[in-house]
Amino acid sequence: MNKLSQLAETLIPSEIIKLGNEISERIKQGNKIYNFTIGDFDPHIFSIPQELEDEIVKAYRDKKTNYPPANGIVELRKAVASFIKNHQGLDYDANSFLISGGGRPLIYATYRTICDRGEKVIYPVPSWNNNHYTHFIEGEHICIETKVENNFLPTAEELIPHFKDAVLLALCSPLNPTGTVFTKDQLTKICAAVVEENKKRSAGQKPLYILYDQIYWTLTYGSSVHYDPVSLFPELRDYTIYIDGISKAFCATGVRVGWAFGPVNVIDKMKGILSHIGAWSPMAEQVATANYMQQYGAVNAFLDTTRSALHLRLTKIYEGFMRLKQDGYPVDAIEPMAAMYLTIRFSFKCKINASGETIHNTSDMTSYLLKEASLAIVPFAAFGADKESEWYRLSVGTCKVEEIPEMLEKLKSALDALKNN
């Protein structure tokens, strides 16, 4: 076989896709699976806003099918700027925004724009894909293994020792895969340290930039509040690149409209990179999103409905896990804070199942849950965490409320077989 590029030969395949293939095979065999793996929505449960759907259809009928501008149509950039100002209080003009086909190309472009080969990139784990993006740009991985007592978010004390000579700090809140959020105190300490680090650097030295992925920021529950770097420290405006879009807030993962915003000099370079890749969002979807986001009443109503529906599912499953914990099962969970994810734990290593097989590691437990409980979830190891971590991500975008009791009962039966051996 011919040898390929170093990148192609060394890129780690997606663990979620691998698990997804196994799930698909079981479904083909007629098994019912509670598939809570993918960070996506079942459109029959969580549809995109009707107004947005209507605008998309209208845009195609109006023949909006040509190339869009490299940075996105101005109407959409203005609409997004208004949305961010009204809902988040951040005041950026339209030229500070870059539209793309979802958030992924924008994260890639941020890495490519800021980082050179061998430069230090700091990111916590578990987190979504930062290990892969750092591999793409051949950066030096500074990987911070986070702790449950901090809700799997990095602390200033963990990050600061690595700031020297680093060029990018990749943060996400609400966090994928945990659904947890930075507290104001946590993020304030981190941001203050970045400000101080950049004051130390000479004029010819790259600053330390923050990539702030806030794609889930509209989905917070209860007393949880979303905080961001520039709101806390306006002097970070020149060093922070935000990643956002409609994928999660509006259940529109397949519509592919994402945006980044930040310092214009960085955004312009990102635009140049993406223009060569052709990673823009389709013209019709851009026109439709621009028109929809100006329908303020519809937007706010949809956000409220989506938050309530996701929170209901997360809460019901969380309460089920707490009942299992109270009954002596070695499980745990973090109370839902944000996003569409529940952080759960199974501590069954060295237990023997009904077939006499021992649960040696996380992989064994994942397979057991799929086989015996029909429960498909993703271990934190798939997000860069320690391979022996007992924590998992459970995603509720495909969850039917009426199936939660039967899912929990089936899980209890499967755990009984381990608990009693």
Q: For the chain, how many structural domains are there in total?
A: 2
- Write down the pLDDT at residue 420: 67
**Within a domain: 318:** yes
Q: How far apart are CA 155 and CA 333, in angstroms?
A: 21
Q: For residues 275 and 181, state if they share a domain.
A: yes
Q: Has residue 389 been placed in a domain? A: yes
Report the Cα–Cα distance between both ends of the chain, in Å, rounded. 48
Among residues 232, 240, 218, 213, the alpha carbon closest in space to that of 92 is found at 240
Residue 56 included in any domain: no
Q: Which amino acid, one-letter code, is at 63?
A: K
Is residue 419 scored above 80 in pLDDT? Answer: no
Residues 404 and 332 in one domain: yes
| pLDDT at position 21 over 90 | no
The span from the CA of 274 to the CA of 265, in Å, is: 15
> 298 or 204: which carries more pLDDT confidence?
298
**Cβ density class 12-29: b for 16+ within 10 Å, e for less:** eeebbeebbeebeebeee
Final residue of a structural domain among 295, 323, 351: 295
Question: What is the predicted pLDDT for the residue at 275?
Answer: 96
Indicate whether 204 belongs to any domain: yes
Over residues 74-107, the pLDDT tens digits come to 999 999 999 999 999 999 999 999 999 999 999 9
pLDDT at site 100: 98
β 34-35/258-261 pair status: unpaired
Closest CA to 19 of 2, 1, 45, 38: 38
57, part of any domain: no
Cα(181)–Cα(183) distance, rounded to whole angstroms? Answer: 6
pLDDT at 1: 58
288 Cβ partners below 8 Å, 6+ apart?
A: 52, 55, 56, 58, 59
Final residue in a domain of this structure, among 295, 321, 339: 295
How do residues 216-228 score in pLDDT, each as one tens digit?
Answer: 999 999 999 999 9
For all residues of the chain together, what is the average pLDDT?
Answer: 95
Q: How far is CA 71 from CA 106, 221, 283, 296, in A?
A: 11, 33, 12, 24
- Taking alpha carbons only, the member of 334, 356, 353 closest to residue 343 is 334
Average pLDDT estimate for 375-394:
95
3-state DSSP assignment of residue 61: helix
* Residues 194 and 311 occupy one common structural domain: no
For 224-250, the pLDDT digits (tens) are 999 999 999 999 999 999 999 999 999
Give pLDDT tens digits for 306-345.
999 999 999 999 999 999 999 999 999 999 999 999 999 9
Asked, for residue 59, whether it belongs to a domain, the answer is: no
Among 373, 292, 288, which residue's Cα sits nearest to residue 329? 373
123 and 268 fall within a common domain: yes
Q: Which residues contact 151 (CB under 8 A, 6 or more apart)?
A: 178, 180, 181, 334, 337
Whether 399 maps to a domain, the answer reads yes
Listed in sequence order, the DSSP H helices in 175-242 are 184-200, 229-232
Q: What is the pLDDT of residue 373?
A: 96
Q: Same structural domain for residues 258 and 398? A: no
Question: Both tokens of residue 89?
Answer: 């209080």
> Are both 201 and 305 inside the same structural domain?
no
Alpha helix (H) residue ranges in 221-295:
229-232, 264-277, 283-292
Of 267, 289, 238, 388, the C-alpha closest to 59 is 289
Write out pLDDT tens, residues 56-76: 999 999 999 999 999 999 999
CATH of the domain at 320: 3.90.1150.10
Q: What is the CATH number of the domain that holds 282?
A: 3.40.640.10
Task: Give me the pLDDT at residue 288, please.
Answer: 99
Structure confidence at residue 24 (pLDDT): 82
User: If you average pLDDT over residues 400-406, what whole number do you get?
Assistant: 98
Q: How far is CA 5 from CA 2, 8, 14, 136, in A?
A: 10, 5, 18, 12
Token pair, residue 157, equals 């004390």
Residues 24 and 107 in one domain: no
- β-pairing, 341-346 vs 391-395, is antiparallel
- Chain mean position to CA 68: 27
Give the range of the structural domain holding residue 20, as residue numbers without chain letter.
Answer: 6-46+300-419
Q: What is the pLDDT of residues 238-281, one digit of tens each?
A: 999 999 999 999 999 999 999 999 999 999 999 999 999 999 99
Per-residue pLDDT, 18: 75
- Look at residue 55 and tell me if it is in a domain: no
Angle, CA 52 vertex, CA 49 and CA 57 arms, to 5°: 130
Question: Which stretches of 327-390 are DSSP H helices?
Answer: 362-372
Decide which of 263, 295, 327 is a domain's last residue: 295
Which pLDDT does position 421 carry in this prediction? 64
Question: What share of the chain has pLDDT > 70, as a percent?
Answer: 99
**Residues 118 and 178 both lie in one domain:** yes
- Regarding whether 306 and 276 lie in a shared domain, the answer is no
Same domain, 13 and 82: no
What are the tokens at 5?
């590029």
Residue 306 shares a structural domain with residue 288: no
Q: 314 with 172, same domain?
A: no
Helix (H) / strand (E) containing 364: helix 362-372
